């Protein structure tokens, strides 16, 4: 029998990310024993029904006991509390990791609870959907997506290699960087985009009631795509903004300055400024498609599937 | 033989919308003779190769001559100029229409060129992708999408009914409203969303070079979805902002006020304000899915297609 990558793997939190990692580990036989813990008894029951874990428990400490790798997959704001429970139960050489969208705060919150005989190696798989909970996960979520590992200074290289290996085995491409740099990059690629999506959907909701119903009706003009992002888990995103405040405010400041410039061009009818800006942003899209982080299918494939059978040529 | 809905239908401009309408008309046999005009000889040549028109010409006036319905499908800013060429060639009872994303301006620009013996009935199919040109179109683009018809005051009811009938036959659901109301609704459902998508992609492009390349790399965290919208046709969108200025500035003002409130909540760590806002926007998403303007497939179906075969349960 082939030795599994991780003899005992514990995943704390069975939401979208935790349950997807569990499914990937299950499907690819990455763990000798796969333990999933969730504080919510209803979630535990559902995980048992879905059957993607060997052991299911409400007790994070019990899950951590004897585990080689413990991955905390809870909203960032709860990571310190979980580490407090899990830390004392970590065996010598065990690795505590996470999947949080903010890394500086997570290190601050978790590090004090990690005993000297264990390792803290945070990670962030940059993948997801707008759905939450154990039913939302799927085994291929991380395939060809990036996972950013942020080893603290002086981290044990072997421990880093094991976390990198786990995510590669789950299908992800792995990059390492500092927690601080991660938080700056994610502020612009993820946190500010989510905030402005939440914001414009909120603006539409504040309109007079008849107008709001028309916004829903005619949402295919662009608004619809924002509502998808703006339906992501509220607890997770509240925590992101509270814990990555400085980088988000910095990037939000740049966003607002740029928007003011476009607004000014609209007010004064400066078509050249608008055209030049709009033409430039196309190049960035092209790069993303070239790097395989997106397909070129129009309209997110909503129509693409129907296209070939109706095409003229 | 069944009488076609429109004996002679002319479409001026063979971009995404014009070529999709032509393909729909062809597939559903809506026109006795289908004439497509485009000022660009290369586009005309391509339309001939694709073979979805009976007559292809560079001359919009020639296309209009003898046509029962003439649909102008060019960037909004060019609609007046096209009307100037087409207007004098319209036969008695002919209907001039368009597909522009802004309606007040279009009426102003086109109406002076429409002779008394013809009708101006503007329309706006709320559908599209981020691609442009005759190859981007497809016959099902309008299916189950809304088309908003904005008859000017005192418009001939029979002429309105013919334009409504044409879009219904092309697969769209039709709603009528005033041009002014249309421009306000679209400012929030389409124009402001496009502007802020263009803007955040621009903000990312202005970062230091190494950071910009990381933004592309890690775009799956949310940014990616904005780049799709921000790769839409620059000429079309420049014209939209220049011609729907007042409504866009009004909605942009509301957006900015709301964003400032969220920014303030982040700065002062007010988690309740953030959570409440984020939870509320989920409801709007639900309404859009319930009304059939979107599917609930996660991640725009990027992964959904792979999901079933890997699912645990």
Q: Using one digit for the tens of pLDDT, what is the confidence trace for A78-113?
A: 999 999 999 999 999 999 999 999 999 999 999 999
Q: Output the pLDDT for position A254.
A: 95
* Predicted pLDDT of residue A300: 42
A285 band by pLDDT with thresholds 50, 70 and 90: confident
**Cα(A238)–Cα(A105) distance, integer angstroms:** 14
Is B161 near chain A, with CB under 8 Å?
no
Question: Quick one: A158 exposed, middle or buried, by C-beta within 10 A (0-12, 13-18, 19+)?
Answer: exposed
Place of tokens 């008394």: B116
DSSP H helices in chain A: 16-27, 41-50, 60-64, 79-86, 104-110, 157-169, 179-186, 192-205, 209-217, 223-229, 234-243, 245-267, 271-290, 307-310
Distance CA B15, CA B21 (A): 10
User: B164 CB contacts (<8 Å, ≥6 apart)?
Assistant: B149, B174, B176
A23-37, A214-228, B227-241, B299-313: least confidently modelled range: B299-313
**Cβ separation of A220 and B293 shorter than 8 Å?**
yes
Minimum CA–CA partner of A196 in chain B: B259
Which of B251, B258, B307 comes nearest A138 by C-beta?
Answer: B307
Compare CB distances from A291 to B196, B217, B287 and report the shortest one's residue.
B217
Q: How far is CA B25 from CA A126, A221, A306, B36, B178, in A?
A: 43, 22, 17, 11, 26
Contact partners, residue B311, CB within 8 Å, separation at least 6: A138, A139
Nearest-CA distance B89 → chain A (Å) = 30
Q: Please judge whether B198 and A298 are an interchain contact, meaning their C-beta atoms are less than 8 angstroms apart.
A: no
And the tokens for B87?
């207007």
- The H or E element containing residue A98 is strand A95-98
A242 in B contact zone (CB under 8 Å): yes
DSSP letters, chain B, are -PPPSEEEEEEE--SHHHHHHHHHHHHTT-EEEEEEE-S-HHHHHHHHHHT--SEEES-HHHHHTT-SEEEE-S-GGGHHHHHHHHGGGPPTT-EEEE--S-SHHHHHHHGGGS-TTSEE--EEE----S--STTT--TTTTTT-EEEE-PPTT--HHHHHHHHHHHHHTT-EEEE--HHHHHHHHIIIIIHHHHHHHHHHHHHHTS-HHHHHHHHHTGGGTHHHHHHHTTS-HHHHHHHHHHSHHHHHHHHHHHHHHHHHHHHHHHTT-HHHHHHHHHHHHHHHHHHHHTTSS---GGGGTTTTTHHHH---
Can you give the pLDDT at residue B297? 56
Domains, chain B, ranges and CATH? 6-177 (3.40.50.720), 182-269 (1.10.3660.10)
Contact A173/B at CB under 8 A: no
Our CA-based measurement puts residue A194 at a distance from the nearest CA of chain B, in whole angstroms, of: 7
Could you say which of A262, A263, A312 has the minimum Cβ distance to residue B51?
A312
In this complex, is the C-beta atom of A21 within 8 Å of any C-beta atom belonging to chain B? no
Q: Does any CB of chain B come closer than 8 Å to the CB of residue A246?
A: no
Contacting residues of B for A228, CB less than 8 Å apart: 225, 285, 294, 300
Within an 8 Å CB–CB cutoff, is residue B104 touching chain A? Answer: no
What is the enclosing helix (H) or strand (E) of A123?
strand A123-126
Decide if A49 and B313 are in contact by the 8 Å CB cutoff: yes
d(CA A162, CA B206): 36
| Chain A residues 115-154 with a CB less than 8 Å from chain B | 126-131, 136, 138-141, 145-146, 148
CA B37 centroid distance within chain: 19
Dihedral sign computed on CA atoms, order B262, B264, B265, B267: positive
> Is the per-residue pLDDT at A281 higher than 60?
yes
The pLDDT value recorded for residue B117 is 98
In the numeric block, which tokens belong to residue B3?
């009488």
Write down the pLDDT at residue B15: 96
Q: Is B224 left (phi over 0), alpha (psi -120 to 50) or beta?
A: alpha
Low-confidence stretches of chain B (pLDDT beneath 50)? 298-313
Angle between helices A209-217 and B271-290 (to 10 degrees): 60
pLDDT, residue A126, reads: 93
**A190·B222 Cβ contact <8 A:** yes
Residues 198-217, chain A, touching B (beta carbon < 8 A): 198-207, 211-212, 214-217
- Residue B262 contacts A where some CB pair is shorter than 8 Å: yes
* Cβ neighbours of residue B201 closer than 8 Å, sequence gap 6 or more: A281, A284, A285, B223, B226, B227, B230
B281/A27 CB distance under 8 A: no
Using the Cβ of A178 and the Cβ atoms of chain B, whether some distance falls under 8 Å is answered with no
Q: What is the CA radius of gyration of chain B?
A: 22
**Residue B125: its chain A contacts at CB < 8 A?**
none
The number of residues in chain B equals 313
Indicate which of A285, A293, A307 best probes the interface with B, i.e. most B CBs within 10 Å of its own CB.
A285
The pLDDT of A49-55, averaged and rounded, is: 97
Q: Does A60 touch chain B (CB under 8 A)?
A: no
Chain mean pLDDT for chain A: 91
Size of interface A-B (CB pairs under 8 A): 381
Q: Note whether A180 contacts B: Cβ–Cβ < 8 A.
A: no
Task: Name the residue among B223, B227, B245 with its Cβ closest to that of A190.
Answer: B223
Tell me the C-alpha to C-alpha distance, in Å, between residue B181 and each of A121, B149, B241, B266: 55, 11, 16, 35
- Chain A: residue whose CA lies nearest to B131: A298
Taking the Cβ of residue A111 and every Cβ of chain B, the question of whether any pair is shorter than 8 Å is answered with no
B222–A229 CB contact, under 8 Å: yes
Distance CA B253, CA B256 (A): 5
């Amino acid at each position: 029998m082939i030795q599994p990558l991780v003899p005992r793997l514990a995943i704390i939190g069975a939401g979208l990310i935790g349950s997807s990692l569990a499914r990937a580990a299950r499907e690819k036989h990455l763990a000798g024993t796969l333990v999933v813990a969730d504080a919510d008894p209803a979630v535990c029951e559902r995980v048992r029904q879905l059957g993607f874990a060997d052991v299911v428990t409400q007790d994070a400490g019990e899950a951590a006991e004897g585990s080689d790798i413990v991955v905390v997959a809870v909203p960032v704001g709860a990571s310190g509390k979980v580490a407090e429970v899990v830390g004392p139960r970590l065996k010598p050489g065990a690795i505590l990791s996470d999947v949080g969208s903010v890394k500086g705060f997570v290190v601050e919150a978790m590090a004090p609870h990690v005993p000297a005989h264990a390792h803290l190696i945070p990670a962030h798989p940059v993948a997801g959907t707008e759905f939450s909970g154990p039913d939302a996960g799927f085994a291929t979520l991380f395939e060809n997506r990036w996972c950013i590992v942020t080893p603290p200074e002086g981290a044990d290289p072997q421990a880093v290699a094991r976390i990198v290996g786990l995510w590669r085995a789950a299908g992800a491409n792995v990059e390492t960087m500092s927690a601080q740099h991660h938080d700056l990059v994610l502020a612009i690629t993820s946190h500010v985009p989510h905030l402005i999506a939440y914001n414009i959907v909120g603006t539409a909701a504040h309109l007079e009631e008849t107008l709001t119903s028309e916004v829903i009706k005619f949402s295919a003009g662009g608004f619809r795509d924002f509502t998808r992002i703006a339906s992501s888990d509220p607890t997770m995103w509240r925590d992101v903004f509270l814990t990555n405040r400085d980088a988000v405010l910095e990037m939000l400041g740049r966003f607002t300055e740029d928007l003011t410039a476009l607004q000014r061009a609209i007010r004064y009818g400066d078509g050249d400024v608008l055209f030049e800006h709009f033409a430039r942003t196309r190049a960035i899209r092209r790069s993303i498609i070239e790097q395989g982080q997106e397909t070129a299918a129009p309209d997110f494939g909503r129509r693409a599937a129907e296209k070939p059978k109706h095409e003229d040529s």
